[in-house]
Structure 1
Amino acid sequence: MNSHKKTLFVALFASLMALFVANLGQAQPVSAASTRTIKVAGTKYKIPKDPKRIVTNVYTGDVLTVKGNVVGATSIDLKSPYVTKKQNKKIKNLGLNLKAEAVLKLKPDLIITSNETDVKNLKKIAPVVYIPYGSTGNIKATVTEFGRILNNQKEAKSWQKKFTKEATKQQKRLKNAGIDPSQTTVGLFDMQSGKVYIDGAKWGRGGQALVTGLDFQLTDAAKKIDKGAGYEQVSLESLDQYGADWIFFSNTETTKGSNDSAIKDLKANPVWQGLDAVKNDHVVQLPFNNVYYFDGNAVYHQMKLITDAMLKQVK
């Protein structure tokens, strides 16, 4: 081979290799017949009609609720007690964030995230559906929405029936004990980094189980928070503005014991001690990890968890 031909061959080979490497990060082309266009939070997405390999950030539980096949998820999602051991074994733990290299190895055909930057970082790997947190409505609407996105409407309807049946069962238990949820207000108090927050119904902490499932009522002050950001830091002096018939208290710890002194100060505060729920022994603290998650499976189980705790309190 003369030097001119050799130079052309080397250049052609280098070009082909560059093209091959570039295509590694590209989403695999699919025929129009196997895709559909959906609209989520005002944005249109072209996605597979029946996605088979889904990577998720925040919405792992929601996808699993409607029987979607998750192949990779963030570590916080996989700590949920409502993700079964069997499911966990089949899902790759991707750490705190979705890194492109790790996601690429899983060969997903759909990525669902609450992080807008994932769209830019991962869109060459597979279609990325960005769902802003809190944009899907209450838990019933959320499950319906995920059923639509994944084309699993049948599974979503099945969950709705199961959820309604369980909600009715737990409401009956409460009423038999003299607690009528429709006539009872609840407050969601959360301690984070030594500060007290009031949560609405859409910020996890059992809010959807209490309000959408069991039919408890938020106070007017909590409703304003729920319609806004969904949570609000408050001072100890203003706690009486957020009093309710029952208070549900959660402890969001960054490290074990990090909120101990703050909780001690809260319980010793005269304003806290003056709340009707505190005086009536209607304060319930539930295991944080059990009420942190807010997907369909989580909320379904939280209804019994909350009911059991309340009934134990009134005995």
Structure 2
Amino acid sequence: MMKKKHTYLKVLSVAMMALLFLAGCGRGNSDKSANKESTSSTRVIRTASGKVKIPTDPKRIVTNVYTGDVLSLSGHVVGATSIDFTSPYITKSQKKGITNLGLTMKPEAVLKLKPDLIVTSNESDVKPLKKIAPVVYIPYGTTGNIEKKATKFGQVLNRQKQAQSWIAKFKSESDKQSQRLKKAGINPTKTSIGIYDMQNGKLFVDGAKWGRGGQALVTGLGFKLPASIQKIDQGAGFQQISLESLKKYSADWLFFTNTTSGKSTNKQAISDLKSNPVWKSLPAVEAGHVVQLPENKMYYFDPTAVYQQLKLVTDAMVKSVRS
């Protein structure tokens, strides 16, 4: 009887050890799954300020300048600087869910929004804000043309499919508007354009990478920049010029915006420009190939803005030809 009991206890002991081992294995597998899940929830990307570990799928994004870029790929923005709030390409419903941070991203205000990702164009933001959440620093004007810009933000936001979808949509719309121009007698690939802006009484020439419709006109529709403006585009991207030097920066079509509308100095400067003999003698002016567009619709150059500018500039050119 004692021998049978001893055998029973031995078997029971072995069984319990087996159960504990299996339980341990199960817990180990569970830990591995948890670790795998934890690891996959973040990723490391290269930025202008070095490598940064960011969320794989950011849920609460705070940004300056790049609000339109994030929203264009359906990113969730919870805070943005005031300059983005004036964009006509951000809808009222989108603005409802975004806190206006004012001119700069003050750490105290950003902290209250509990972001899991911050995207900035200012290097000075990196040090104070990285204590709150991972900071992706993208210097202004370094993202390339609009297609490269969409691709860049697709990588940052882990929305590569959305970026590729937008690029396909952009190319399709570009082709559609280009065909409209050709029917109106304008062949973009054989036509040069110049982009001019009056700001605080000073006249500037812009390249294609600083907004003002440049990406819609050049990258989208395929217009060309004259050699003199190409140099500006490849350099600083904009340059103040005198009225006397206008002929050097002339083109087949001139696109004009007034950045500081309402100020008497600007009104007088525009009046002086239009009455200047050099301006009047430009072939584009004589042919009526001058398009003045609202600055607030041309300033921005995120994917949504550039996409809508394709039709905006095409409509204006077609109307100019027919009038």
Q: Shift in Å at residue 64 of structure 1? A: 0.7
Distance 1:120 1:279 in 2: 54
* Correspondent of 1:214 among 195, 200, 221: 221
Counterpart of 1:165 (choices 163, 166, 172) is: 172
In the alignment, structure 1 segments of 5+ residues that lack a partner are 1-29
Match of 2:240 among 214, 228, 233: 233
Q: Which amino acid aligns with 1:65?
A: S
Q: Determine the C-alpha separation between the residues in 2 that align with 1:90 and 1:258.
A: 38
Whether 1:176 and 2:197 are equivalent positions in the alignment is no
Offset at residue 255 of structure 1 (A): 5.2
Cα deviation, residue 32, structure 1? 4.0
Moved over 3 A (4+): 30-33, 254-258
Asked if structure 1 preserves the Cα contact closer than 8 Å seen for 2:197 and 2:206, the reply is: yes
Letter of the 2:273 counterpart: L
In 1, Cα distance between equivalents of 2:232 and 2:40 = 45
Aligned residue number for residue 291 of structure 2: 284
Tell me the distance in 2 between the aligned counterparts of 1:273 and 1:256.
24
> Which of residues 273, 276, 283 in structure 1 aligns to 2:280?
273
Separation of aligned partners in 2, 1:157 and 1:33 = 23
Retained in 2: the 8 A contact 1:81–1:289? yes
Contact 1:41 1:135 in 2 (8 A): no
- Deviation sequence 1:74-104 (CA, Å, 0-9, x none): 1110111110111011111111110111110
Between the aligned partners of 1:197 and 1:276, the Cα distance in structure 2 is 19
Equivalent position of 2:3 in the other structure: none
CA distance in 2, matches of 1:33, 1:303: 39
CA–CA separation in structure 2 for the residues paired with 1:85 and 1:314:
35
Q: Tell me whether 1:188 sits opposite 2:195 in the alignment.
A: yes
Equivalent residue for 2:73, pick from 49, 66, 79 = 66
Q: Tell me, yes or no, if the aligned pair for 1:110 and 1:126 is still in contact at 8 Å.
A: yes
1:56 aligned residue: 63
User: What is the aligned-residue RMSD (CA, Å)?
Assistant: 1.3
Q: Kindly provide the CA deviation profile for residues 186-213 of structure 1, in whole angstroms up to 9, marking residues without a partner as x.
A: 0001101101000000010000000001
Is residue 153 of structure 2 the alignment partner of residue 146 of structure 1?
Answer: yes
TM-score, with length taken from structure 1: 0.89
2:181 match: secondary structure: helix
Match of 1:313 among 308, 313, 320: 320
CA separation in 2, counterparts of 1:38 and 1:269?
A: 52
**Structure 1 residue identity aligned to 2:291:** V
Distance 2:79 2:49 in 1: 26
Classify 1:295/1:257 alpha carbon distance in 2 versus 1 (closer, same or farther; 3 Å): farther
Look at both structures and tell me which one has the larger radius of gyration over its CA atoms: 2
Give the whole-Å Cα distance in 2 for the aligned partners of 1:32 and 1:100. 28
The Cα shift of 1:42 comes to 7.1
Q: Which residue of 2 aligns with 1:260?
A: 267
Distance 2:261 2:45 in 1: 38
The alignment's TM-score, normalised by the length of structure 2, stands at 0.86
Name the structure 2 match of 1:8. Answer: none
- Specify which structure has the higher proportion of helix: 2
Letter of the structure 1 residue corresponding to residue 228 of structure 2: A
User: What is the letter of the counterpart of residue 164 of structure 1?
Assistant: K
Unaligned runs of 5+ in 2: 1-36
Structure 1's 36 and 255: CA in aligned 2 closer, same or farther, altered over 3 A? farther
* Partner residue, 1:197: 204
Task: Give the paired residue count.
Answer: 286
Aligned residues with identical type, % of pairs? 65
Equivalent-residue separation in structure 1 for 2:119 and 2:243 (angstroms)? 39
